[in-house]
Amino acid sequence: MIDLSAKRPLLECEDVVCAYGQIQALHGVSLRVMPNEIVAVVGSNGSGKTTLLNAICGPVNPVSGTVRFDSTDITGDAIRRVVARGIAHVPEHRQIFADLSVHENLLLGSYSWYRPRVRHEAAEEVERVTEVFPVLRERLSQRAGTMSGGEQQMLAIARALVSRPKLLLLDEPSLGLAPLIVAQIFEMLAGLVDQGVSVLLIEQNSRQALKLAERGYVIETGEIVLEGPGKELLNNPRVQAAYLGT
Ligand code: ATP
């Protein structure tokens, strides 16, 4: 278990409030992700999970509150600046470039640091991530849109890793995938912390997410209502009744 008091958080959201016009979607959310930690945020439809990720990485500008990354205030920063600092976002529904090949999609992951003189590094980075996802190595020339849902999800995560992130934000990576594929993807996520990547995972698949995560948060109608070690939350009667169907 990571000692929260001993280290500086990698990501820290403090009292983040977000609204879409008159609709307030987050009512003062605070959370932390420590270096080399997997953190899950679970909650039902419309509870504010996607809004939270978007407030961290740019598309949604918080009305108030602070987002700090690596001790720097990044609240409201543009997406390209956030990516350059070391945050990669894998959005819901993956958003891969369907008409480009797997290889081209992966190379695009390097856009935040790519320079012609370090061109070889982009190729090396693609090589490195395909070691984590052997299925992609076999399909580098395949058009991305013709891959299965699970393969596309792996491609989206792999592309994010090519950007050399310190923190990976994942929005519902299990959505629409068979349990076996989900298990493979979550196993790979567990291995990322050994490579120095932290993960903030938002999921409706609460059981899998809380099994994987060191710590978890439960969000309901834009508020964090519970937090604690993943395993503790799995055994919490309120979580079990509301999210685990037990
Ligand atoms: P899901 O699991 O269904 O994706 P979520 O937990 O990610 O849901 P959000 O998508 O963050 O929840 O939505 C939180 C609230 O904000 C909801 O009430 C939603 O209707 C509202 N909302 C989200 N995006 C917008 C938008 N662009 N305009 C207006 N309201 C929005």
Residue 161 burial (C-beta neighbours within 10 Å; 0-12, 13-18, 19+) = buried
- 3-state SS, 51-93, equals HHHHHHHCCCCCCEEEEEECCEECCCCCHHHHHHHCEEEECCC
The reported pTM is 0.91
Ligand 1: which atom is nearest the Cα of residue 54?
Answer: 11
Rounded distance from Cα 132 to ligand 1 centre (Å): 33
Delimit the domains of the chain by residue range: 1-86+165-246, 95-161
Q: Which residues contact 82 (CB under 8 A, 6 or more apart)?
A: 56, 57, 58, 69, 74
Ligand 1 atom 18: residue of nearest CA = 46
Its CATH architecture, for the domain 1-86+165-246, is 3-Layer(aba) Sandwich (3.40)
Strand order, beta sheet including 23-33: 23-33, 11-20, 64-69, 72-73
Rounded distance from Cα 52 to ligand 1 centre (Å): 10
Ligand 1 atom 17: residue of nearest CA = 46
Ligand 1: which atom is nearest the Cα of residue 171?
Answer: 7
Ligand 1 binding pocket (C-beta < 6 A) is 20, 23, 25, 43, 45-51, 204
Q: What is the pLDDT along the chain (246 residues), one digit of tens a residue?
A: 555 565 799 999 999 999 999 999 999 999 999 999 999 999 988 999 999 999 999 889 999 999 999 999 999 999 889 999 999 999 887 788 999 999 999 998 887 777 777 777 888 888 888 888 888 999 999 999 999 988 999 999 999 999 999 999 999 998 888 888 889 889 999 998 988 999 999 998 899 999 999 999 999 999 999 999 999 999 999 999 888 876
Q: Which residues contact 176 (CB under 8 A, 6 or more apart)?
A: 149
Rounded distance from Cα 221 to ligand 1 centre (Å): 10
C-alpha closest to that of 11 among 65, 72, 54, 77: 72
